[in-house]
Chains A and B, each alone.
Chain A
Amino acid sequence: MNFLKLVLVNLARNKRRTLLTTLSVMVALFLFCALGGVLDTLAESIRFGSETRLVSRNAISLIFPLPLAYRERIAAVPGVTGVSIQNWFGGQDPKDPHNFFGQFGVDAATFFPIYRNDMDIVAASPPQARVTTPPGVDQRLATFMAERTACVVGEKLLRRMGWKLGQSFTLAGTIYPGDWPFTIRAVYRSKIRSFNDETMFFHWDYLSEKGMGGRGFVGIYVLKLADPTHAAQIAKRVDAMFENSSAATRTESERAFQAGFVSMYGNLPFVIRVIGLAVAFAILLVAANTMVMAIRERTNEYGVMKTLGFDDGAVFRMVLLEAAIITLLGGAVGAIGAKLAIEKSGFNAGGILPPMSVHWSTVGVGVGVALLVGAVSGLIPAWQASRLRIVDALRRVN
């Protein structure tokens, strides 16, 4: 009789138990890979952001601004081909203050050319008259460029908030007090995963005039470089320039700047690993319990099989294979299911993470864990079954 067939028949004998165990392994591996996906996504977001752009911020921390006067001086540094401005706004939807999304005041004429390869304008209000946009700025942004309170919002944000192109809405300022009316004049879609699809951009001039009394404080400067290989020297040069002035700068690559936010999560990766380990161990117990129960029921049969000439090794392999099939099946479905379900849903933990991804390597680790669980859970029952003496096995009555 075919060896594999015998194993399969055994599995099918108590279908409910096999099913429950497989489901249990499946659910656990789904969770295991979902947690691994969080780690993947965190690791990935450290590499988000371009290495060819630099970000200058106040050396103390992000909450301190830089003077507007720095723009010309940074632009004059050899190797810098463009300088743009970004200010965090921190407004809230008055109807739903907890519905968080990022808003930035940007210098549109330089911002959109610098981020040309990161996003596309997918919809825009048609221009009223013949207006031209500055070089490098999408023609469809003409209406946006001409209107003080206009804003550009991400496609996903538009959907999430239930907004429509051309619609006006008001945000309540937290850092810059007062009510801030805005009108949506364009919608963008990100071209790369690292560029957030749920952000709103508006004119920095509007922010400066209404919110800072025209004093012109700048959150960060984004620097475009002619030759990215000189990034380190240019960063040093910019920081040296302002070292002894009223606001010292810290300049780093956009990638390092974004990685700084990830490092703010602190011990999160460690916590996730601990949970993952607990999940794997819990599932090991469920699988082991199943195998122990299955083998105990069949003690007599193993006695008969051995009498018929199956050797100890064959019995050992049979039990082990049975355990491995259950965990491998459940594990593979759970792990691959996690990848498909999570990546398809675009889950981003309420905006805390970028859209989550589960790498194939994580799926592989998951399947490996499932196999390992199968092997370990089957080991002791298999050993017991192989060591059974025929007389004992046949004597035992359930």
Chain B
Amino acid sequence: MAIPISYNVRNVLQRPVSTLTTAVGVGLTVAIFIGALALAGGFQAALIESGSKDNALALRKGADSEISSAITRAQAEILRASSDVATGPDGKPLVSADLVVVTNKPRLGQPGSSNVTVRGIDAGSLAMRPQVRITAGRMFRPGSDEVIVGERISRRFANCAIGDRIRFQQREFTVVGHFGAQGSSFESEIWGDNAVLMPALQRDDVFQSVTFRMRDPAAFDALKRRIESDPRLGLQLRSEREFYASQSQLLSNVIRFMGVFITIIMAVGAIFGAMNTMYAAVSARTREIAMLLVLGFSPAAVMLSFMVESVILSLLGGLIGCLIALPINGIVTSTTNFSSFSEVAFAFRVTAQTLAAGLVFAGVMGVAGGFLPALRAARQPLAKSLREA
């Protein structure tokens, strides 16, 4: 027969100071764990949200990012004319040949400078990227030396306010608007008309990527085979969503790895603390436990009971950790994504899954910290324990 859980709950509540210090120790570990997952998850989400499942993105074969790719105007025109490209309500193909370059800009509020992606788009292609909305000012006029700046970097870099002027080589561009893109990495970019930016940046007729809305997204695999085997093109075709997801992989893996590495070390310390508390709980109740054994509870039931108590203690810590970690949800931070060699601003993303992962992590700590003390409780020499004063 099992010992009722209410016994453990009461015991945990009976020593509030010790319970609280142990639980908060576990909680801090869990909070860092959740924080690392939220950081990696937020970064990943920012990039994944940039891509749409309905869009396909073409890069030169062998290129692993937009900046290492090159697509000639002739190749772009072949894609533009393809019957696989969906058309908008005005009958024009939904396609954008993007010029993607990186500019180095001084930061605001932090020393140093960092790289910002500048994207020259087909001016009429916003219909293909419905997540993009002008949030302040207005859209750039096609053919003009105007640019719009993503919301998330508008306050992080110099010369990005509306009305400011940005210089590329010999030409100055005016910032006329800010745009949002549902938190995606597009919000960390500067957009302008590719027809104007290309000569300004001396990119003679070379684009970096061509993105288009597929007429039939379900037939992507066949389309990919067709385009990749076209000898005129020498291109690779990827789902836009899959492409952006791949751009996040390197850094989010690094963050996760470091986060897990740090929290595992921290967890070892917290587990030792939990063991201390549980050993103290066991030794304070030596007679009580002996009594339980005498009453006929099996050693296994006693062991289980103390394991449960340890898990309750650490789950309490897990809850505290979740509470500490929750407020970081939505905080915007930024770092360089080395896949695109430019800065991406993104928000920490605490989801139900990260919280659940934190609780599971706490539970594991409880099991690890409770095992030895529980074993000791179950293996008490009965006579000696009962005799103890």
Contacts and interface: CB of A to CB of B under 8 A. Distances in A.
Contacts, number: 170
A60 B270 contact: no
B258 A263 contact: no
The 4 closest A-B pairs by CB, nearest first: A263-B112, A286-B273, A24-B272, A264-B336
A7 interface: no
A283 interface: yes
A267 B345 CA distance: 11
B336 A260 contact: no
A178 B266 contact: no
Given A260-B113, A352-B254, A398-B284, 16 more contacts: A20-B276, A21-B272, A21-B273, A63-B341, A97-B64, A177-B60, A259-B112, A266-B333, A267-B333, A271-B333, A275-B32, A278-B28, A282-B29, A282-B266, A286-B269, A289-B273
A286 B25 contact: yes
A349 B251 CA distance: 12
Contacts of A268: 335
A272 to B, nearest CB: 9
Contacts of A352: 254
A165 B341 CA distance: 32
Interface string A250-264: 100000000110111
A248 B104 CA distance: 13
Contacts of B62: 172-174, 177-178
Interface in A27-75: 27-28, 30-31, 34-35, 60-64
Given A177-B61, A263-B113, A21 B276 contact: yes
B2 interface: no
B11 to A, nearest CB: 15
A283 B269 contact: yes
A20 B372 CA distance: 12
A261 to B, nearest CB: 9
A interface SS class: helix
Interface of B: 17-18, 21-22, 24-25, 28-29, 31-32, 39, 60-65, 67-68, 101-104, 107, 110-115, 168-170, 201-202, 250, 254, 258, 262, 265-266, 268-270, 272-273, 275-277, 279-280, 284, 333-336, 341, 343
Contacts of A226: none
A174 B335 contact: no
23 contacts: A20-B279, A23-B272, A24-B272, A24-B276, A27-B266, A28-B269, A60-B168, A60-B169, A60-B201, A61-B101, A61-B104, A62-B115, A174-B65, A175-B63, A178-B62, A250-B104, A264-B336, A266-B114, A267-B334, A271-B333, A279-B266, A289-B276, A293-B18
Contact of B273 (A24, A262, A263, A292): A24
Given A264-B343, A281-B28, A98 B250 contact: yes
Contacts of B107: 263
Contacts of A250: 104
Nearest to A277: B28
B169 A265 contact: no
A289 B22 contact: yes
Given A16-B279, A175-B68, A27 B112 contact: no
A244 interface: yes
Contacts of B336: 264-266
A289 B64 CA distance: 53
B28 A62 contact: no
Given A61-B103, A61-B104, A248-B169, A267 B270 contact: no
Given A17-B279, A24-B272, A264 B68 contact: no
A90 interface: yes
Contacts of A23: 269, 272
B114 A263 contact: yes
Contacts of A345: none
A300 to B, nearest CB: 12
Given A27-B269, A266-B114, A62 B18 contact: no
B21 A289 contact: yes
A28 B280 CA distance: 22
Nearest to B36: A275
A172 B341 CA distance: 19
A25 B269 CA distance: 7
A266 B334 contact: yes
Interface string A326-352: 000000000000000000000001101
A90 B21 contact: no
B369 to A, nearest CB: 10
Given A61-B115, A285-B21, A285-B22, A290 B276 contact: yes
B107 to A, nearest CB: 8
A246 B171 CA distance: 11
A90 B65 CA distance: 11
Given A63-B67, A174-B64, A265-B336, A35 B25 contact: no
B265 A27 contact: yes
A289 B277 contact: yes
Contact of B335 (A31, A178, A267): A267
A61 B115 CA distance: 7
A228 B191 CA distance: 41
A259 B276 CA distance: 46
Contacts of B170: 244
A86 B121 CA distance: 31
Greatest chain B CB density within 10 A among A27, A246, A289 is at A289
Contacts of A174: 62-65, 68
A275 B279 CA distance: 28
Nearest to B280: A293
A35 B259 CA distance: 12
Contacts of B39: 271
Contacts of B279: 16-17, 20
Nearest to A91: B62
A288 interface: yes
Nearest to A270: B333
Nearest to B17: A292
B7 to A, nearest CB: 20
Contacts of A289: 17-18, 21-22, 25, 273, 276-277
A84 interface: no
Contacts of A275: 32, 262
A60 B104 contact: yes
B112 A282 contact: no
Given A173-B62, A260-B113, A293-B18, A282 B276 contact: no
Contacts of B113: 260, 263
